[in-house]
Structure 1
Amino acid sequence: MRVLIVSWEYPPVVVGGLGRHVHALARRLAATGHDVRVLSRQPNGTDATTHPTLDETVDGVRVLRVAEDPAHLEFDRDMVAWTLGMNHGLLRAAPVWLDGWRPDVVHAHDWLVAHAAIGVADLLRVPLVATVHATEAGRHSGWLTSVISQQVHSVEWWLAQRADALITCSEAMRREVSELFDLDPADIHVLHNGIEPRRWRVERAEVDAVRTRYAPDGSALLLYFGRLEYEKGVQDLIAALPRIRRTHPGTRLLVAGDGTHADFLASRARTHRVRRAVHLLGHLPDRALAATLAAVNAVVLPSRYEPFGMVALETAAAETPLVASTAGGLGEVVRDRITGLSFAPGDVAGIAEAVRTVLDDPAAAAARARTAHARLRTDFDWSRITEATVAVYTATRPRPRDPIGKPKIPTGNAFGPDPR
């Protein structure tokens, strides 16, 4: 098939798990004989003089990285305006780049590329498949109180209503998308994210260096890695750390990643009097992250909202013991007491109890980690996921549709009086 993927992130521009997912999917599609193109962008804050539009083929995938326009728009300050500007650039560049090449399907990844993906699909009259990786309502526990949240939700609504086929990464996300956008859950496909385990193999000396730096006395090391945002719940893990240290003195927490809540987390560590035991590492390159994963006693994922839980798969690939909340897709990725230990989102006492269980019985924790690793070859194998994605492409046809009106913005909680 001829497949056009539209994504606001594609390596080397990677913001989170979406970029890694799209990269793996595109390469796998190309490797199995499909003609794949990716329409994406250059890094935020650049322009056509520093980062001109680039057309290149990498790993069998033809990628167009569109330069930013000159307008002074910043994602952090002008998110919706910046997003519209990016889509305008993608739409202007696409027709010349396609140059008569007509895809069998356009695959949009999340709301940020809705305008460009819908525009190209409409122009070429081809089916539009959309993957919803997260929702604005979900990120804010159902509340759409700010103007920006309402704007983002309305674009998500438009993409979900316009798409000829919809994909989510978990059953939890299927339920969420169905409820938010008034769709029949039977019409939504669930395709898990995949993982490539070999990427996490490292030398023993690199692992020992991490232990020497952060736990020279042999005390326990915990790790959180991912975006530093409120919905990731790292503040709950920091609140649990004093309880953990009472029974396991000297335990330290490594926090790897970037986000808007880095300063907030540092202040929470001071409030709980564990600032010296919490190390905010910032973004770690893959090699350093792999060494850190192999060095710690457990990874803790305290998410309050999690569409899937890619970090849980990366932890399993490293065969590191895992403690995770049951938020969203994590409840599907992690099988309590089989592939890891689980607790309710926001449950500080539950975090402490689960971590203590891992530290008290490392042999049982290691056995669960091996089971989680073995599961990667079945439920999260990229070959199967790619095959299932192609099946969605093949079955999708353009649907006749009525004009789509503006959605009604919930005045209360979007998930009802008893939000999840």
Structure 2
Amino acid sequence: MRVLHLLDHSAPRRSDYSRRAQALLEGLRKQGVQTVHLTGTGQADADGAGDGWHFYRTATADRRLPLIGRAAPDSRLGAAMSTAALALRLRQVARLTRPDLIHVHLPSSNAVAAWPVARLAQVPLVVDAERRGHALPAYPFPRAERWALGAAHAIATGTAQVRAVLRAEGLAAKAIAVVPQAPDLLPGRLAGVRMENLLGAPLLAYAGGLAPDDGLDLLLTALAQVRRRHPALRLLVAGGGTLELRFERLLAQPALRGHVVFAGPLSYRRAADVLPRADIAVFPALGHRPCLQPSRHLLNALAQGCAIVASDLACHSELLVHGHSGILFEAGSRAGLAKAILDLLAQPWRIDALGKAARDFMSTRRSWEVTAARYRSIYEMVLNNCDASR
């Protein structure tokens, strides 16, 4: 089985996206799937290797037109030209490599370029689909993207919530498989990173955004309440940027002053260093906006064996078993969050128990080998269905 993978343009670079993509490709190859790799528009580099992998690349489309000038990349004209350039490049690579199946990775808008190529070549199409957050730019042709998803032979999503949204959007008759995300970090915990005798100075960690719906405001107000019983409690905030200024007045309160540190955004390498040192990792998203999939920081914290306290959003409840691999509290409830933290601090032996259960779950149910096996099952189902229909 030879599968042509259409990836984001950043796949050959050193990034969190490339690590995830290459981990999946390596897992597929171990299971006997031949992989061919094409990146989307955004690079002018020639075809070649990236971190030991060969990538066919799509150069950035020339958006200069007579009388019109240069089209902006985020404009409808610029997007249309990039889609056309990607479709032509995909057609070339498909003719050269003759794949049995084309797999479009995120962003799912690349399916707009892939479906006509797959149709002309009579090759099945599998598409990874997501629902974008408000902070990300929307594809200017949503109807075309929805059409392309409907034309795919199968769709893969990260959570049951995304699948439900896609079905509500009119894809109920389409085969939609849930392929849960795997963490960036390998399951495990650095030996000796947590001090056994903390002398009543436990460490909380928060990794995520600083927007109101991310819940850091809620965590800070709950922290002020918890510190009445644990005055040495500290909080490490793995986030930063201009939104950090929103918290100046709150952090100036006597209950929080000197006990909260902003460490900047949490990259892949720093995550491996920071997360294992926390006693409790808190994910207090409020859920005012739809939260369809868990934070990658949450997946990494679980893989690193952190004790997790998270709001009871659907994407968290799907991942965590309350009292076994994490503690869930009512989203938006300061009292519920404070109680969850206080209960764990009052029973410190539960911290390691929760962390071990979380780490075991990620190593057995959310590894890249398991993810690759699920994708292989989708490939086989699609190919068998296409053979039966001929």
* Residue of structure 2 in register with 1:25 after alignment: 24
Once residues 150 and 346 of structure 2 are traced to their aligned partners in structure 1, the CA distance between those partners, rounded to angstroms, is 50
Judge which range, 310-319 or 63-72, deviates more: 63-72
2:235 to 245, 253, 256: 253
Q: Does 1:165 align with 2:154?
A: yes
SS at match of 1:100: helix
- Describe how 1:61-100 pairs up with structure 2 within 5 A: 61-69=53-61, 78=74, 84=80, 86-100=82-96
From 356, 359, 371, the counterpart of 2:342: 356
Q: Are 1:55 and 2:48 matched, yes or no? A: yes
Q: How far did 1:28 drift?
A: 0.8
Counterpart secondary structure, 1:177: helix
Amino acid at match of 1:164: H
**Equivalent position of 1:373 in the other structure:** 359
Q: Distance in 2 between matches of 1:230 and 1:156?
A: 30
Partners of 2:37 and 2:55 within 8 A in 1: yes
Q: Specify the code of the residue in structure 2 equivalent to 1:64.
A: Y
Question: Structure 1 pair 379/185, CA: closer, same or farther in 2 (3 Å)?
Answer: farther
Per mean C-alpha deviation after superposition, the further-off stretch among 238-247 and 228-237 is 228-237
Distance 1:377 1:300, change over 3 A: same
Secondary structure class of the residue paired with 1:135: coil
Q: Cα distance 1:348–1:158, how it changes in 2: closer, same or farther (>3 A)? A: farther
* Deviation, structure 1 residue 310: 3.7
Residue 192 (structure 1) aligned with residue 180 (structure 2): yes
Instruction: Show the counterpart of 1:393.
Output: 379
Partner of 1:4: 4
Alignment equivalent of 1:101, drawn from 91, 97, 104: 97
In terms of Rg, which structure is larger? 2
- Counterpart residue type for residue 97 of structure 2: W
Identity of aligned residues (%): 25
Cα distance change of structure 1 residues 329 and 10 upon mapping to structure 2, 3 Å threshold = farther
Q: Return the offset for 1:388.
A: 2.1
Which residue of the partner structure matches residue 313 of structure 2? 327
TM-score (norm 2): 0.79
CA displacement at 1:251 relative to structure 2: 2.8
Paired residue for 1:295?
A: 277
Equivalent residue, structure 2, for 1:340? 326
| Amino acid aligned to 1:113 | N
Instruction: Tell me the CA shift for residue 41 of structure 1.
Output: 4.7
Change (3 A) 1:338 1:68: same
Aligned 1:137-156 pairs, distance under 5 A: 139=133, 151=140, 153-154=142-143, 156=145
Match of 2:301 in 1: 315
Map of 1:125 onto structure 2: 122
Cα shift readout 1:112-135 (whole Å, capped 9, x = no counterpart): 423333343234231111122x31
- Residue ranges of structure 2 left out of the alignment (5+ in a row): 64-69
Residues 202 and 232, structure 2, Cα contact 8 Å, conserved in 1: yes
Match of residue 270, structure 1, among 234, 242, 249: 249
Aligned pairs, how many? 368
Residues in 1 aligned to 2:222 and 2:79: alpha-carbon distance in whole angstroms: 38
RMSD: 3.6
Deviation at 1:335, TM superposition (A): 0.7
Q: Does the C-alpha gap of structure 1 residues 226 and 185 become closer, same or farther in structure 2, counting only changes over 3 Å?
A: farther
Q: Tell me the alpha carbon deviations over residues 155-208 of structure 1, each in whole angstroms, 9 at most, x when there is no partner.
A: 5523332221111222222222211x223278321122234764655464xx47
| Aligned partners of 1:319 and 1:372 also within 8 Å | yes
Relative distance call for 1:37 and 1:308 in structure 2 (3 A) is: farther
CA contact (8 A) 2:154 2:175 kept: yes
Question: Which residue of structure 2 aligns with residue 415 of structure 1?
Answer: none
Which runs of 5 or more structure 1 residues have no equivalent in the other structure?
Answer: 141-145, 400-420
State the alpha-carbon separation in 1 of the partners of residues 245 and 235 from structure 2: 12
Q: Measure how far apart 1:361 and its partner are.
A: 1.8
CA–CA separation in structure 2 for the residues paired with 1:11 and 1:331: 34
In the TM superposition, what whole-angstrom CA distance separates every residue of 1:10-50 from its partner, at most 9, and x where no partner exists?
25364x6x6554332212112222211222258x7xx63xx
| 1:99 Cα deviation from its structure 2 partner | 5.0
* SS of match in other structure, 2:331: coil
AA of the residue aligned to 2:155: L
